[in-house]
Amino acid sequence: MHVVERFAAFAQTFRAQPVPAEVLHHAKRAVIDWYAALLPGAVAAPATLLEKALADNLDRGRATLAHGRKSTARTAALINATAAHTMEVDDIFRDAIYHPGAPTIATALAVAQETGASGEEFLRGVIAGYEISTRIGKAMGRAHYRYWHNTGTIGSFGAAAAAATIYGLDAKRYAHALATVATFAAGLQQAFRMDSMSKPLHAGHAAEAGLLAALAAREGVTGSLDVIEGESGFGRAMSDGPDWEKALATLGTDFHITQMTFKNHACCGHTFAAIDGALELQRRMSVSAADIARVLVGTYRAALDVAGYEQPATPAEARFSLKYVVATALTHGSVRLAAFEPERMADAATRALMQKIELSVDAELDAGFPGRRAARIAIETKDGRRDEYLQPTRKGDPDMPLSDVELEHKFLELAAPVLGDAAARALVARLWTLENAASV
């Protein structure tokens, strides 16, 4: 059997079995976190601009955008996935360097709304999308991430699997959906190495591509079944020869959706260990930003490559500036959405502290990437004190997870300004019992 056929066989087995309670709970956590990312992103560009660009596909259909506007399923998947990746607060599967929620859940919801699926059927689609795509992403490894944006490439498989599961495709059609979407997979790192709106569009494209591949397969469109492992296939063209046997080994027994990272800061996840470490060292030393003479940050190379903006001029650049977010954290105590408002972007104290921050690649920490996301922080004060701290992981990672209470607090913080407090609380209460819903 080819790789896509083996993934399809898992999906058929999974569809017929009860979902373990722990897996179901973590799937609901993922959906709650997705809504937390979706709602603020839905009222900002590029999602608002996509509504104008794709107006012909709106105000009809059975799917909906975040604010309830009717949409065709493909357009809802595209716009909602884009929105969910815009504010940089969406989930991460650490080992695959990948944000599965934005494309996978957007597609699952659009298809579930289109078909009238139950809450449990929707969650099964989400779980299948996470399990298949995270394994592909992990296998593709660090070599893939050198040039490609995994949320655009790997996310296409998550979306296709979610859609194929909810559509109820048989094993043959399911495999062809995955085979077709492999050749749709796209998203370049260079697209967000300067100020642009391309990065969240990668998630949107992945969602739409996955849904299209599943729709096509449902009607009998075929793909090349060896497209993953073939000589000119996805693995060889976009990585360095992944080990597909290893990727498939624990499928159906070890559920990756239980090992998600939920963001605790509103910026690039590569900056989180540095933020967490700087705040902890500041607390231990009892120093204010004004007391600091120098900050040294050592971390893994990808953090400097992706989040290396020296003088960010826009919110998009600031979210990918290690110096800006660390300085913001030390000056204001957190890195939330307010950190990227114009007044905070221009804050003199933050900008002054940025000039005192020095970044470097720590060889030991770089060797641990992507399975370990760590940073080594040193602070020197104006009165001559010096201390350093190793932040071994990130708050929100599986080994330092957000509790259900913390996750719900994150949701309310991000959703209430958009929906209102009462509506946000009502929504999260419904999401915690989603498996009981007769229809989404």
Asked if residue 88 is part of any domain, the answer here is: yes
My answer on whether 234 and 377 are in the same domain is no
Half-sphere exposure of 296 (CA within 13 A, CB side): 14
Asked if residue 317 is part of any domain, the answer here is: yes
Gap between the Cα atoms of 1 and 7, Å rounded: 10
Asked if residue 342 is part of any domain, the answer here is: yes
Please report, as a single letter, which amino acid is at residue 29.
R
My answer on whether 253 and 145 are in the same domain is yes
My answer on whether 189 and 331 are in the same domain is no
My answer on whether 253 and 327 are in the same domain is no
Asked if residue 310 is part of any domain, the answer here is: yes
Asked if residue 397 is part of any domain, the answer here is: no
My answer on whether 250 and 333 are in the same domain is no
Domain that includes residue 303, residue range: 269-391
Gap between the Cα atoms of 270 and 321, Å rounded: 10
Gap between the Cα atoms of 47 and 59, Å rounded: 16
- Looking up residue 316, the CATH number of its domain turns out to be 3.30.1330.120
pLDDT score, position 162: 99
My answer on whether 99 and 245 are in the same domain is yes
My answer on whether 287 and 214 are in the same domain is no
Gap between the Cα atoms of 8 and 176, Å rounded: 9
* This model's pTM is above 0.85: yes
My answer on whether 342 and 409 are in the same domain is no
My answer on whether 259 and 224 are in the same domain is yes
Hey, is 203 helix, strand or coil?
helix
Pick from 370, 391, 412: which residue ends a domain? 391
pLDDT score, position 246: 96
Q: Write out the DSSP string of 42-77.
A: HTSTTHHHHHHHTGGGEEEEEEE-TTS-EE-HHHHH
pLDDT string in tens for the chain (440-residue length): 999 999 999 999 999 999 999 999 999 999 999 999 999 999 999 999 999 999 999 999 999 999 999 999 999 999 999 999 999 999 999 999 999 999 999 999 999 999 999 999 999 999 999 999 999 999 999 999 999 999 999 999 999 999 999 999 999 999 999 999 999 999 999 999 889 999 999 999 999 999 999 999 999 999 999 999 999 999 999 999 899 999 999 999 999 999 999 999 999 999 999 999 999 999 999 999 999 999 999 999 999 999 999 999 999 999 999 999 999 999 999 999 999 999 999 999 999 999 999 999 999 999 999 999 999 999 999 999 999 999 999 999 999 999 999 999 999 999 999 999 999 999 999 999 999 999 99
My answer on whether 147 and 251 are in the same domain is yes
pLDDT score, position 38: 98
Asked if residue 396 is part of any domain, the answer here is: no
pLDDT score, position 221: 98
Q: Write out the DSSP string of 326-393.
A: HHHHHHHS--SGGGGSHHHHT-HHHHHHHTTEEEEE-HHHHHTTTT---EEEEEEETTS-EEEEEE-S
Asked if residue 379 is part of any domain, the answer here is: yes
Structural domains counted in the chain: 2
Asked if residue 109 is part of any domain, the answer here is: yes
Query: Do the beta carbons of residue 112 and residue 125 sit within 8 Å?
Result: yes
My answer on whether 214 and 327 are in the same domain is no
Hey, is 274 helix, strand or coil?
helix
My answer on whether 407 and 385 are in the same domain is no
- Looking up residue 411, the CATH number of its domain turns out to be 1.10.4100.10
pLDDT score, position 17: 95
